[in-house]
Structure 1
Amino acid sequence: MSIQSPPTLLELAGCILLSDKSRAILDLEDLLTELFPSLFVEAFSRGHTEVLKKMVQAWPFTCLPLGALMRKPQLEMLRVALDGLDMLLAQQDHPRLKIFGKPTGHNRKVLRLLQLDSVQKVEVHCTWAPSTLAAYAPFLGQMRNLRKLLVSQVRMPAHTSPEEQEWLLSQLPSQFLRMDCLRKFCVDAVLPLEGHLEHVLRHLKTPLVALSITNCPLSDSDWNNLSQCPNTSQLRHLDLRYIKLTNFSPEPLKILLETDASTLNRLDMEACEIADSQLQAILPALSRCSQLRTLCFFWNHISMSFLRNLLCHTARLSQLSRELYPTPLESYDAQVPHYQWLHIVPRMSTQSPPTLLELAGQSLLSNKSRAILDLEDLPIELFPPLFVEAFSRGHTEVLKKKAWPFTCLPLGALIRKPQLEMI
């Protein structure tokens, strides 16, 4: 009699994720890459047709293991997988186009050979001068089905005249008028954006679902116009990391949160240098963001009294499952550098639907001995939910194992759960 091998941690995670099919379908975009193969096999074996079809369309690898599934003669599920491939091809969902390094004439020759109207994602990761970006802008205008555009590291040469600067900055936004499908717009360290954000957003043809402006200087007019643009009225993800907001009025952000209250599910304001008084002003609007699932405020100056007030407001948000805050200023030792410790605070309220990572953590702890043995093979993204689950359930041996892969432990977050024995 053969002895069946126990399931791996990833296989266990796949099993628990499929226990809620509708949630698995909704959260595929946020699913760990490592979980795709095990979840795919589980969906195939259990006959979860809708999950399987969506997984084929969201598959993050270059190969799909259909051949390996021939050992399991389920023709109906093979047909579903092939249907998913047909839908993928019908959408012309080509791999994202990434540009690294210094742009060259060779790059432009390659772009002329591509079927650009089928490209859906473009990421530019290199230091560009605006003149170079202007030269590439017509190619972007041909990407009529582009859904996501990320541009990073753009700097204006010191010798550029004001007239030339205005002309260069008009080239990219003018191409937005040809993009009927652009829903995600991300800029990082685009220094010439200062004073021109309203001009950029005004040329968008469709409302955005994701807006990310990071590491960019903004003017007062940029900040004030952010909430007045019709294309920011349906945001699901707003990312303002490393935007210095110290001297800005909180009113535009308050208005933007009120406008997006029914759609916003992620707000990231890491290292915005925002003060308690500014945050206090946006709390009523923040507490009305009923779909919010992730909230990040770390690397900001936050006092203990404000943190308590903030937690009282966010406690009303039933969908909120992950909150990230800095340690309050009062808790710093005089000899400890600011922001050395971060809090990762998963909300364990029974009213909140668990995230996929939390579900995976719950599944892994159903077999404590196996969880201990396999910690070294655990994807690092699963450590935080597993740690909180182990703490909450009193799994001392799992908690004690020295395998934590990060530079800090979220002990501060556990103050909400005063179990001194576990601490």
Structure 2
Amino acid sequence: MITTPNPNGGKPRAAVWGRLRGQGDRPGLALLSHLDTVPADPSDWSVPPFSGRIAGGYVWGRGALDAKGVAVTHLMTLIELASSNQRLERDLLFIATPDEETGGRNGAGWIVANHPEILEGIGYLLTEGGGIQAAAPDETTHAPIWGVALTEKTPCWLELRAHGRGGHSSAPTGEDAVPRLVAALDKIRRAESPVRVLPEVEQMFAALAPIAPEWDRAAYLNLSGTLERDEGFRRRFLDNPGQNALVRNTISITYLEGGPATNVAPSIARAQLDARLLPGRTCAQFAAAIESLIDDSTIEIEEILSFASRASSADTPLFRAIEAVAVRQDPRGLVVPRLIGGFTDAHWFRETGIVAYGFVPRTLSAEEAEGVHGANERIAVETLTKGIALQIELVRAFDAIEAAEHRKQAEPVE
């Protein structure tokens, strides 16, 4: 266990880790999860949100999906492999951290900076951010999709502070903080970000082309070109919020603060924005663009959280191991590289040169997936147990495929 800082004061928090030593010297694999969660309002839940109750074939509770369920999957994988008579060739590292939901600076980021010895010899990492989408009922045209996150959008959290003349609200001055803030937010809400298709997104949709609707297959094979020249496809594609977020910077207005009472015009009003930027643009550049857009010198803009996004290559033994396991599970299985709109702790490790993928080998229903950060978060016991078995299979497959590739490279050329 490692104690980590608590920026809010009070007791330090903890990260948990353990290492299973392999018998070889090739780069090891880390399994990363996090133990913190977002808040939960008990009034929205049908069970106490931190009870971990098992009922109706599900484990219920905040973190069941994000990401204590992942931590359980990883820990059981480590325990099962440690008790096996078949030793791995490489080291396997389990690590579960705090602070991921608020950016990870005092969790994974702090560990990377202050305890690099824990990561010694680690070359690969698996964490949250991807998983398995089950085959559709029409089995002749659909296949299970194994989505592997190679990169993620850059978070850019901003606070806007509007200043004005405070006083009694019965005599508005036209220079009040709240109307100024509302006007600025309206400009932000109406702004439309340009479309930009990253190579990872182009690759993702090309991989999905075989199972796309027949009329969209050619478009998926050339996504950027089709979005430029086919207005009908462009409109249909961008009308899907998830797809829109893959090719654009997005902004959500998530927090507002005004006066203390209905009859008080405050001298300051605040709003917070959660922007997610495509890799290649910094938060500072984005904040400057917002400042230019609102064009109001009475409004301050402060960066709350941001970090640069990194990408990992799909041309690795670990990606090929995922492909091998997917085909063993179902010959129709497709392994698809992904860009994700959220953020994980993977970027802290990519910055050190570790190949980091967002992938947990579990299949969630659409209803289950809605529980992430929502009420009644839960995971099926069957999903959890199958996920552990698949994670063990994947670790062994990676160990075997990398060993085979290593032997092949070492063979003399005749």
Bigger RCO (CA 8 Å, 6+ sep): 2
Q: Same fold (TM over 0.5)?
A: no
TM-score with structure 2 setting the length? 0.22
Query: Higher strand share goes to which structure?
Result: 2
